[in-house]
Amino acid sequence: MSLVETHALRKYFPAGTGFVSRLFADKKVHAVDGVDLTIDRGQTMGLVGESGCGKSTLGNLLLRIHDPTEGTIRFNGTDITALSGSELRPYRSEMQMMFQNPQNSLNPKHTVGKILRKAIEFHDVAHGDKATELARQYLTEVGLRPEHVDRYPHEFSGGQQQRIAIARALSVDPEFIVLDEPVSALDVSVQAKILSLIEDLKNEYDLTLLFITHDLNVVRHVCDEVSVMYLGEIVENASTEDLFNDPYHPYTRALFDSITLPEPGELSSGGIQGETPSPIDPPSGCRFRTRCPDAVAECETVNPELVERERDTSAETRDTACHLYDPLDR
Amino acid sequence: MMSVLQVDGLHTYFDTENGIVRAVEGVDFSIEPGEIVGLVGESGSGKSVTASSIMNLVERPGRIAEGTVRYDGQDVFDLSKSELQDLRGGEISMVFQDPMNAFNPTQTVGRQLHDVLRTHRNGAVHPVKRILGLDHDEDCKEAVVEMLDAVGIPNPEARYSDYPHEFSGGMIQRAMVGMALLCDPKLVLADEPTTGLDVSIERQILELFNDLVEELNTAVLWITHDLSVVAKLCDRVVVMYAGKVMEVGPTDVVLSDPANPYTEALLDSIPRYDRPDEEIRVIEGDVPDPLNRPDGCRFADRCPKVHERCHDAHPPQYELGDREVACYLAEEGTK
Amino acid sequence: MSEQERSYTNVKWRVYRRVRSDTIAKIGAVVVIISLLLAVFSIVDDFLLNGLIIETLLHDPYQLNPDNRLAPPSLSHPFGTDEQGRDILARVIYGTRTSIVVGVGSVLFAAIVGVSLGIITAYYGGLVDDVGMRAMDVLLAFPAILLAIALLASLGRGFTSIILALGIAYIPSFARVTRSKALSVKSDEYVTAAEVIGYPTRDVLIDEILPNCFTPIIVQATFTLAVAIIAEAGLSFLGLGIEPPTPTWGIMLAGAQQYITSAWWYSLFPGLAIMLTVLGYNLLGDSIRDALDPQTGDGERRL
């Protein structure tokens, strides 16, 4: 059963920030442009793409940090798209987030104990001494020591700060956590520890995760399913194993060609040429056509939908948005 | 042949109220002409401090406590301020992680490159002349346009008069590379120049560096935390940990058969899409506190192959084939 | 906590250490403390004790003594007397009260209004920001002192009026300083994290954003205090501020104007009092700014 579901979700930002450009907001950044995403309960969904593709905005939309321009978001069957701040509050404890910058995601003026206790008491998980006790417990859970409650965030290393951020997210007992590049700012040896901690906690607390990242190596190890995003749209969606064994969409293939490994040798040829077009004025038709080696005439006029498509050479079908593959007749 | 850069016994300390932070504790390596050397380490390893020490850019409370840095046989620490400045602009140039900040936002990119080249060729001009644009040199402009073209900026004539914010992240980094190579330097110091870029753009920059460096025979010191970048780009690699060099050698040998357990652990902790079934290795413990480092091998407390003697003193560099390894395990290989 | 850890977290601790290690800051701090003590003393003495202490030690600052007009400094009148024969030292001491009360009062008023405005405009952005900041621009379009004069003209004279007038004139500086800091704090991820947890907006503003904006506000407050002291003296000098016979440095200077050639002590001592106090607050403000500014680093010493 799906826990989080979006339908035709869109988010446009005004392109300028000044007074005048807001009044005459004709230019808009198409950050998220018609996304249907389904995350099943208990799943770790990977959301990958290059910077500016809208993956972070999508994560923020799911948690209603931004209000969507169009479309719907369902959480656990309920439409939460239009809920107001106070109506949303019960859902807040169900959905949490973890951020990229460890030193930036914890309020420097609060002790770790206060950060955790405040969240616990606010959502009525526990109060008073019990809340403190719970805060200590969560710190132990993420591999820190209970006496760390009295310390300030800057007294910890980057990896430890990310652990505290995890503890804060866990402390309200959520079902769903959006992880926005949670390990990108960390050293590799620390990254490995945080990844294994996330894995352990996911199993222990039956969490559903949306793992936003640009690092495909990490995705392979962490995610069950992957959605690939390009210029505000999802272009391919498949189970991690299928996707890595056989990427369909030319963009996915190009992304895979760009993955680097610590293996000596020349740079292999391939990779994506050119740069991502501006999201203010995205290309007509398929958005990847300007960089796609396989583009045909149809790509210029019709934007392919993300539907199940079949491939001649394989029996398998796959959700992908590309004219190279024929949609499955339903 | 004389090395372009020769670093010997470099120690850089920071005097803080709580004691001396030994950021760099005895680093030796050299760079030959036309060679790309990767300086790899995690945060706190001392790689960035090593880089600023090489340029003699360490600021108080930091100080270079010991060691020499020879550039073309000349001790960098003996140079006067103005000699050092000449060196930095011309023969040694730098590429930074954040090119947007490295360019002056109020001047066109072309103009900034032009000024660098002009100053290098004809010496400094009077600032009033510069402001009035009287220092314009058609030859320099031509050379700059050529360079912009060489670093793969499309339509270089037109981009010459664009401001930094009109460039995309990838393009401005290309322009930065162009600026670094403009005066035909013998050595380029590149400090995490591709960190923060998308993989596809990173790859384009790496390709660019590979081609240009080969063509110009420039030596490069590439500072990074990313071993996959080193693997594709560098001829040799220097692995640092907690202020010490752990292993130095040809990239292909070091990465395919690491001799220092730290290098090995670091390699194993990188997730790889082609090995989905292999667990990502976790290095237990934390990087030692720079104020209170162990007396023995810096990595001893976290090393799976630790011996008794590792706790007594940090191992010297043992020669092992064509590399040097700071680990007692490598001692047997010295004969 | 070790000393190093405290030095990071605790703003007060950082300022304290800075002031202790820096001679200039020490001078500033001493002046500020003396001025505060004198202000408290004169309030207590005047209102609770009816001038008992100052009368015993010196003279009653309100006591007219026509026989002893414009007496030069002597043992019994160390700063001399004014044209009504009142003791200048006693009046300078009592004048501290006016300066400090008006300074602190107007800064508090300006800070409370300005900081709230700055945080709210920064957080909501959009139309709220446009309207709020344009309003500040309008206020800023008038020189602060002119604005205060205009406000005083409509509010009438007296303590409350001058505090309000100066307070309103200084709102924009606090609003702007707070807004620019709050804009950067707002984009920090812990603020988003607080929103994700669901804290009400009021909570996010007060508990997450405000404490992280304190540094520039504190600095702004010390400098504005110095400016307010000068402004109060100026307004009183012009006869717009506090009503006589309340002793204030400004009124004393106004009175001293005609005797400047014949009785130098009359203008010198109130003038010195203003200068020293303002200098003290500025010196302290400078050091606080240096101590709190991560870019200048707090290991450095100036002297």
- Indicate the DSSP class of residue B197: S
Query: Which of A3-7, C7-11, C227-231 is the least confident region?
Result: C7-11
pLDDT reported for residue C3: 40
Q: How confident is the model at residue C183 (pLDDT cuts 50, 70, 90)?
A: very high
Angle at C174 between CA C171 and CA C176, to 5 degrees: 105
Task: Determine which of A107, A115, A121 to mutate to test the interface with C (most C C-beta atoms within 10 Å).
Answer: A107
Domains of chain B, residue spans: 1-91+186-277, 100-182
Question: What are the tens digits of pLDDT across the range C64-108?
Answer: 777 888 778 887 888 888 888 888 888 888 888 888 999 999 999
Q: How far apart are CA B319 and CA B312, in angstroms?
A: 20
Contact C269, C249 (CB under 8 A): no
Q: How confident is the model at residue C289 (pLDDT cuts 50, 70, 90)?
A: confident
Contact A192, B272 (CB under 8 A): no
Closest CA to B25 of B319, B325, B314, B224: B314
Closest-CA residue in chain A for C125?
A17
Closest-CA residue in chain C for A114?
C207
pLDDT reported for residue C167: 93
Question: What are the tens digits of pLDDT across the range B202-256?
Answer: 888 888 888 888 888 899 999 999 999 999 899 999 999 999 999 999 999 999 9
Beta bridge partners of A230: A233
pLDDT reported for residue C145: 84
Residues of A with CB under 8 A from a CB of B: 50-51, 157-159, 187-193, 195-196, 214-221, 241, 244, 254-256, 258-267, 271-273, 275
pLDDT exceeds 60 at position C5: no
Closest-CA residue in chain A for B302?
A189
pLDDT reported for residue A16: 67
DSSP assignment string, A273-303: -S-PPPTTSPPSSSTTGGG-TT--HHHHH-P
Residue C298 lies in a domain: no
Q: How far apart are CA C232 and CA C240, in angstroms?
A: 9
Q: How far apart are CA A279 and CA A295, in angstroms?
A: 20
Nearest-Cα distance to chain C for A180, in Å, is 11
User: What are the C-alpha distances in Å from A30 to residues A33, A69, A302, B234?
Assistant: 6, 10, 18, 39
Contact B75, B10 (CB under 8 A): no
pLDDT exceeds 60 at position B335: no
Nearest-Cα distance to chain A for C193, in Å, is 7
Q: How far apart are CA B305 and CA B325, in angstroms?
A: 15
Residue of A220 and C80 predicted with greater confidence:
A220
C-proximal residues of A, 85-114, CB under 8 Å:
85-86, 88-89, 92-93, 95-97, 99-101, 104-109
B200 CB neighbours in chain A (<8 A) are 50, 254-255, 258, 271-272
Burial class (CB in 10 A: 0-12, 13-18, 19+), C274: buried
pLDDT exceeds 80 at position C184: yes
User: Per the CB < 8 Å rule, is A195 touching B280?
Assistant: yes
A258 CB neighbours in chain B (<8 A) are 199-200, 202-203
Query: Which of A26-30, C25-29, C207-211 is the least confident region?
Result: A26-30
Q: How confident is the model at residue B2 (pLDDT cuts 50, 70, 90)?
A: confident
B61 CB neighbours in chain C (<8 A) are 299
Nearest to B276 among A189, A220, A255 (CB): A220
User: Per the CB < 8 Å rule, is B18 touching C299?
Assistant: no
| A/C interface, count of CB pairs below 8 Å | 66
User: Per the CB < 8 Å rule, is A85 touching C201?
Assistant: yes
State whether residue B33 is helix, strand or coil.
coil
Closest CA to A92 of C202, C211, C192: C192
User: Per the CB < 8 Å rule, is B61 touching C299?
Assistant: yes
User: Per the CB < 8 Å rule, is C211 touching A85?
Assistant: no
Closest CA to B103 of B90, B91, B92, B116: B116
Residue C303 lies in a domain: no
Nearest to B42 among A51, A187, A271 (CB): A187
Nearest to A220 among B198, B271, B286 (CB): B271
What lies within 8 Å, CB to CB, of A126 at 6+ separation is A120, A133, A134
User: Per the CB < 8 Å rule, is B282 touching A188?
Assistant: no
Which residue's entry shows tokens 């945060």? B43
Q: What are the DSSP E strand ranges found in A62-186?
A: 70-75, 78-79, 95-98, 176-180
Q: Is the ipTM of this complex over 0.90?
A: no
Closest CA to C91 of C46, C49, C158, C47: C46
pLDDT reported for residue C302: 32
Mean pLDDT over residues A163-168, rounded? 94
Q: Within B182-333, where are the H helices?
A: 199-216, 227-233, 251-256, 261-268
Closest CA to C205 of C181, C182, C184: C182
Burial class (CB in 10 A: 0-12, 13-18, 19+), B331: middle
Mean pLDDT over residues C193-211, rounded? 92
Nearest-Cα distance to chain C for A57, in Å, is 13
Residue C302 lies in a domain: no
Nearest-Cα distance to chain B for C138, in Å, is 30
State what percent of residues in chain B have pLDDT above 70.
99
Which residue's entry shows tokens 């040829």? A269
Count of other CB atoms within 10 angstroms of residue A265:
12
Q: How confident is the model at residue C109 (pLDDT cuts 50, 70, 90)?
A: very high
Closest-CA residue in chain B for A219?
B273
> What topology does CATH give the domain B1-91+186-277?
Rossmann fold (3.40.50)
A19 CB neighbours in chain C (<8 A) are 130
pLDDT reported for residue B308: 86
Query: Amino acid identity of C296?
Result: T
User: Regarding beta strands A28-40 and A2-14, do their DSSP bridges make them parallel or antiparallel, or are they unpaired?
Assistant: antiparallel
Report the neighbours of C using a cutoff of 3 or more CB pairs below 8 angstroms: A, B
Nearest to A262 among B265, B270, B283 (CB): B270
Nearest-Cα distance to chain C for A301, in Å, is 37
Q: How far apart are CA B183 and CA B259, in angstroms?
A: 39
User: Per the CB < 8 Å rule, is C189 touching A99?
Assistant: yes
DSSP assignment string, B274-310: T-TTSPPP---S-PPPTTS--SS-TTGGG-TT--SGG
Q: Could you tell me the two tokens for B133? A: 């644009």
User: Per the CB < 8 Å rule, is B255 touching A263?
Assistant: yes
State whether residue C79 is helix, strand or coil.
coil
Nearest to B199 among A157, A191, A258 (CB): A258
pLDDT exceeds 50 at position B137: yes
Specify the number of domains making up chain C: 1
Residue C54's domain spans which residues? Answer: 3-292
Whether residue C197 lies within 8 A of chain A, CB to CB, comes out as yes
User: What are the C-alpha distances in Å from A8 to residues A33, A80, A234, A306, B117?
Assistant: 8, 14, 11, 11, 53
User: Per the CB < 8 Å rule, is C4 touching B18?
Assistant: yes
Contact C115, C217 (CB under 8 A): yes
Nearest-Cα distance to chain A for C212, in Å, is 7
Q: How far apart are CA A77 and CA B323, in angstroms?
A: 61
Residue C299 lies in a domain: no
Closest CA to C92 of C245, C233, C231, C249: C249
Contact B12, B62 (CB under 8 A): yes
Residue C166 lies in a domain: yes
Nearest-Cα distance to chain C for B16, in Å, is 8
Contact B247, B323 (CB under 8 A): yes
| A/B interface, count of CB pairs below 8 Å | 119
Q: At what angle do helices C159-186 and C88-124 cross, to 10 degrees?
A: 40
Residues of C with CB under 8 A from a CB of B: 3-4, 299
> Can you give the CATH number for the domain in which C81 is found?
1.10.3720.10
User: Regarding beta strands B236-241 and B187-191, do their DSSP bridges make them parallel or antiparallel, or are they unpaired?
Assistant: unpaired
Q: Rounded to two decimals, what is the model's pTM?
A: 0.86
Whether residue C9 lies within 8 A of chain A, CB to CB, comes out as yes
pLDDT exceeds 90 at position B43: no
Which residue's entry shows tokens 């058609």? B138
Report the neighbours of A using a cutoff of 3 or more CB pairs below 8 angstroms: B, C
Most confidently predicted of A257-266, B247-256, B314-323, C241-250: B247-256
Q: How far apart are CA C174 and CA C166, in angstroms?
A: 13
Nearest-Cα distance to chain B for A241, in Å, is 9
